[in-house]
Amino acid sequence: MTVATIRWIGERPGKARILEQTLLPMETRYVDLSSVEEMFDAIKRLAIRGAPAIGVAAAYGVLLGVQGAGSQSAAQVLALTEKSAAFLAGTRPTAVNLFWALERMVARARRELKPNASAEDMIAGLFEEAHGIFEEDRAICRRIGEVGATLIGHGNSILTHCNAGGLATADYGTALAPIYVAVNQGKSVKVFADETRPLLQGARLTTWELMQAGIEVTLITDSMAGRVMFEGRVDSVFVGADRIARNGDVCNKIGTYSVAVLAREHGVPFYVCAPLSTFDPSLDDGTQIPIEERDASEITMGFGMRTAPPGVRVYNPAFDITPARLVTAIVTEVGLIERPEEANVCDALRRGGRKF
């Protein structure tokens, strides 16, 4: 089972079709985006979200920004590519897949700028690159699922936080991919989904996605995670990531660190599922990862209802850092990174062909 989170419609000129995630679970609506400005808005307001999906969206956003420039010179197309990429880089500061995809698009445009290259040659190359990012993400999701499924036994119960399924990627997801593969292998799997305050990605998105797939899921508030672990109801924790530092520190949705601490206290394995594109080897550790702070209204006026006094001070970081020492293993497309530390992370990056 997968959901069509983002797809390209048509050839050139084409458009990006996204599932409008701010309306879930009450309404399933697809929205067509025809400009780089519309893609910027969709990423910024979380209509499309999840690190891998944001990377795909960014690539398609650049393509939207240049696809109408066929009458210009190749040099002008390169300049427009760089301008579109710089513009989209201002949407979300934490998810490294965004910047990875934008850098790939700009690098492709620069490679295409050869003697006698036409604007059409440039745009065709960018079209190929964007679709390549999409297809690579689909294949990587399946591979992460295969690797992670080896960690799931028949009858296991898994706790997950936020949404790292098909809604966050171009296919199976990251943290949910092993669950989908395990179920397809005939294993019985149950899931506890943290509500994930303040935007309720677990309640709105993960439960909806798993129910669509026919997988048994139980919704709990974030503060109940310790209780279900204490009761022995959780066999393992699977979460995604938005950025991973060279030493294995993991940045993910706010509340992930608390779950990791609880898992360590209760002897529950804590697994992070992420493609190699989510790693940022330029950062020594998690303290260097920029943490996005979002508007106070997400807490004080959640979904349009006031739940706090007007004027109250609010701290609303969208992500937190889980130290590598609390991570049992990181599940990637090149296999498990057990005992996450710099040497093991760098070895995985080399095996995956990442330059750093």
Q: What is the mean pLDDT of the chain?
A: 96
For residue 1, pLDDT beyond 60 = no
Q: Looking at beta carbons, which pairs linking 73-76 to residues 24 or more positions away fall under 8 Å?
A: 73/119, 74/112, 74/113, 74/117, 74/118, 74/119, 74/121, 74/122, 75/113, 76/119
Measure the CA–CA gap between 64 and 87, rounded to whole angstroms.
Answer: 12
**pLDDT band, residue 354 (cuts 50/70/90):** confident
For residue 215, pLDDT beyond 70 = yes
Which residues of the chain form CATH 1.20.120.420? Answer: 6-142
What is the pTM (predicted TM-score) of this model?
0.93
Domain 6-142: CATH superfamily is: translation initiation factor eif-2b, domain 1 (1.20.120.420)
The predicted-structure confidence for 240-254, as pLDDT tens digits, reads as follows 999 999 999 999 999
**CATH code at 145-351:** 3.40.50.10470
Measure the CA–CA gap between 44 and 55, rounded to whole angstroms.
Answer: 13
The strand pairing partners of 8, in sequence order, are 16
Q: Where do runs of H (alpha helix) occur along 170-308?
A: 177-184, 201, 207-212, 225-230, 256-265, 297-300
Told to judge if 280 belongs to the known catalytic residues of this protein, a careful annotator would answer: no
Give me the phi and psi of 24, to 5 degrees please.
-70, 150
The predicted-structure confidence for 101-149, as pLDDT tens digits, reads as follows 999 999 999 999 988 889 999 999 999 999 999 999 999 999 999 999 9
User: Among residues 171, 194, 242, 280, which one is catalytic?
Assistant: 242
High-pLDDT (> 90) share of the chain, %: 93
Which residues of the chain form CATH 3.40.50.10470? Answer: 145-351
- Mean pLDDT of the region 22-49: 96
**pLDDT band, residue 294 (cuts 50/70/90):** very high
For residue 3, pLDDT beyond 80 = no
**pLDDT value, residue 2:** 60
Residue that the structure tokens 């009450």 belong to: 26
High-pLDDT (> 70) share of the chain, %: 99
